[in-house]
Structure 1
Amino acid sequence: MTIPTNKTRTVLSDGRELIYFDDRPGIPRTAPDLRNLAPHRPQSEIRYDPVLDDWVIVAAHRQTRTNLPAASECPLCPTRGASLSEIPADDYHVVTFENRFPSLGGAYEGRGDIAGGGVRGAPGGLADDGAPSAAFQPIEPGVGRCEVVCFTSDHTSSFVRLSPERLHTVAAAWVDRTLHLSQVPGVEQVFIFENRGAEIGATLDHPHGQIYGYPFVTSRTSRALASAARWRDGHGSTSCLFCAIIADEREKRLRIVEETPSFIAFVPAAPRFPYELHVYPRRHVPDLPSLTAPELTELMSLQVDLLRRYERLFDKPIPYMACWHQAPVRVGRDLSHLSLQLMSPQRAPNVLKFFASSESGMHAYTMDVLPETIAARFRDVK
């Protein structure tokens, strides 16, 4: 997709970057941030778990972050009069900015290879005498970047209510930030997501998503790449596990919810959430920047259609997570296949699915309804 020229970069009073993405060019964005904020110096760290071969982010400064403020005090609404917010404008279309309370951030110091999850090897290990080495459980600076993406200045709106023009602008911002964060020193993977609803931990009601630039390849992605590599080893150098899943779903036609010329949406055969949908491009592409402009338009329209079905299932907005799985920056790109994962813990009109001991302690998930039944319900509410 061609990167838009209708974007304006500015800097907030504490040094964080903010970028306006406008639906159309020519809108002046010159208002300064009038707040007197201390310099932005996030102090997160990542700690390695040698048992699960995984990295855990520790960001103690997030304990005091803003939590569900009144609409009049929303930090994502435009600045109006004496109400100074994160966005120094009286209106905006789409905005991205560095999170004031990031999980990750800080200067890259060239620490070397810390990509975890087994993709390029775990740090540390055992010494010759069998004792843990000095780097057995390392603690590293939590470099990377966390950005907020505001979809609209309207506090009462939502992603499903964005106009086609605004959806195009959001897609352009996602592509732009994926390309940019992939070049940030220390970033190994770019993850775009939206958490909607206090039930799943969203701390702000304003319509927004986030983007993480991780300093490691996440364990979920690492396991998927390992599975894709095993599949390719057994089926040929050009074979893709994810393309095979698409072909299988299209042949059986048990769990497909919607098909468009370029994409397929289906309930996975082994979901972990009561209402979970996967969306895949039919052609093999690693990330959002690899899609054409018409494909992105088609994809955004499909995402809105699917999210509206979530609302129709229960006759109300329900909590959900929208997760974009893109290829890592440097490893496994030929094995990766872009996908969108939509998940909701809502399992009945007034009942949520909780991940208790079996799921949280053993990672052994139990579904209460057949995935094929869930797919039929999604189709029925079109």
Structure 2
Amino acid sequence: MQKTVTRLADGRELIYYDAAPPGTGAPADADPADADPAHGTGVRDARVRDAPDLRPLGPVATASEIRHDPLLGDAVAIASHRQERTYHPPADACPLCPSRGDRLTEIPAPDYEVAVFENRFPSLAGDTGRCEVVCYTADHDASFAGLTEERARLVLDAWTDRSAALARDPAVEQIYCFENRGREIGVTLGHPHGQIYAYPFTTPRTELMLRSLARHRERTGANLFDDLVAAERKDGSRVVLEGEHWTAFVPHAAHWPYEVHLHPLRRVPDLPSLGEEARAEFPRIYLDLLRRFDRIFGPGEPATPYISGWHQAPVRGWEERPVERGDFALHLQLFTIRRTSGKLKFLAGSESGMGVFINDVAPEAAAARLREVADA
């Protein structure tokens, strides 16, 4: 992997990730318009990485604030400046496409493979954390499921590199790499991309998992994550697919109509701790899952909206916890809010008001459907 760091006109950091060093993938005089960035054959002329951001941007002005709820004990980010963020622009005005001709975007280069930059409209900024955008491909009409295994591996490497870098910031406590896909989820930019949030606190979901982990250790002396994965593999009714180094299953108490948890078989706390064998197998497993999600509701259906995110151990604060960082298990959660063709799962009174989920699809039925739509 080749990493190139530069700056945008307003001082925000921009990082290009290439599968090979610039200059090795195509002749220096090749036309970037001839590139096929969605399939890993983009132009890697070193000069394009030096393309300056020519936009007349002023400094980024954010109003991010973290407020703590005294009743629930959780944190809420107040980010009123996000009301002005870009909202469903036409394809020819997409800020995540490469800059070409007079069309200047967030990415000054005329082509790229994977690019990561600081969000201009962050939910978290400064002392309240950091938000980054991860562009998987220069192809506006692509999707993660349509990437090659080589490109998916490059995205994994970018997630890993950013997780390690952000963990070195003493103000950061937890890192979440995730993708929202589909207008139904609330996505405002159609270009295939994800985000990375670096929180200055441990998120409520993780705090709940850590408490369950500690109770299970106290009660049984064993690791809860290990026992859960072993139980799902033994039962088998909710297992979707298995590799040599990964297992994907629908949780016994899935909250969402179609929800899959993907675990490496060797427990590690975060992405930087993943071994090479698991890294090498991940693209095939993950792309298979995403493609199955797009086939859940049958041919002719629009692309399945989903949320996919990596749950990683907090990077600090372990001195006060009853478990160790290595007890936490890195895993990916993938789910859709679509419960059947043309119908969404809305979070209404019980879910939104009391946090009690009601799932319309039995987890065993969801797993069976995901096995059924495997690519023959």
Same fold (TM over 0.5): yes
Whether the aligned pair in 2 keeps the contact of 1:225 and 1:335 (CA below 8 Å) is no
- 1:288 aligned to 2:284? no
Within 2, Cα distance between the matches of 1:56 and 1:335? 27
Whether the aligned pair in 2 keeps the contact of 1:255 and 1:269 (CA below 8 Å) is yes
Whether the aligned pair in 2 keeps the contact of 1:193 and 1:322 (CA below 8 Å) is yes
1:78-227 superposed matches below 5 A: 78-106=98-126, 108=127, 143-227=128-212
Whether the aligned pair in 1 keeps the contact of 2:292 and 2:373 (CA below 8 Å) is yes
Structure 2 unmatched runs, 5+: 23-43, 319-323
1:303 Cα deviation from its structure 2 partner = 1.1
1:135-166 C-alpha deviation (Å, 9 max, x unpaired): xxxxxxxx211000000000000001111221
Deviant stretches of 4+, over 6 Å = none
1:221-370 superposed matches below 5 A: 221-236=206-221, 239-314=222-297, 315=299, 316=301, 317-330=303-316, 331=318, 332-370=324-362
1:82-112 C-alpha deviation (Å, 9 max, x unpaired): 1110000111000000000000011x4xxxx
Letter in 1 for 2:21: P
1:7-57 C-alpha deviation (Å, 9 max, x unpaired): 110000000000000121123110000011111242200000011110000
1:243 Cα deviation from its structure 2 partner = 0.6
- 1:8 aligned to 2:28? no
Whether the aligned pair in 2 keeps the contact of 1:263 and 1:282 (CA below 8 Å) is yes
Within 2, Cα distance between the matches of 1:278 and 1:58? 30
Classify the secondary structure of the residue corresponding to 1:312. coil
- 1:44 aligned to 2:64? yes
Classify the secondary structure of the residue corresponding to 2:296. helix
Residue 54 (structure 1) aligned to one of 67, 74, 81:
74
Within 2, Cα distance between the matches of 1:241 and 1:263? 17
Within 1, Cα distance between the matches of 2:241 and 2:151? 23
**Residues paired across the two proteins, number:** 341
Letter in 1 for 2:292: R
Within 1, Cα distance between the matches of 2:7 and 2:146? 29
Within 2, Cα distance between the matches of 1:16 and 1:83? 19
Whether the aligned pair in 1 keeps the contact of 2:258 and 2:361 (CA below 8 Å) is no
Within 2, Cα distance between the matches of 1:304 and 1:38? 39
Whether the aligned pair in 2 keeps the contact of 1:229 and 1:335 (CA below 8 Å) is no
Give TM-score scaled by structure 1 length: 0.88
Structure 1 unmatched runs, 5+: 109-142
Within 2, Cα distance between the matches of 1:301 and 1:64? 38
Q: Look up the match of 1:134.
A: none
1:19-38 superposed matches below 5 A: 19-26=15-22, 27=44, 28=46, 29-38=49-58
1:272-328 C-alpha deviation (Å, 9 max, x unpaired): 110101111111110111112231121222111011111111234110000100010
Classify the secondary structure of the residue corresponding to 1:97. strand
1:169 Cα deviation from its structure 2 partner = 1.0
Letter in 2 for 1:363: G
Classify the secondary structure of the residue corresponding to 2:326. coil
Classify the secondary structure of the residue corresponding to 2:230. helix
Classify the secondary structure of the residue corresponding to 2:175. strand
Whether the aligned pair in 1 keeps the contact of 2:167 and 2:315 (CA below 8 Å) is yes
Q: Look up the match of 1:131.
A: none
User: RMSD of the TM alignment (CA)?
Assistant: 1.0
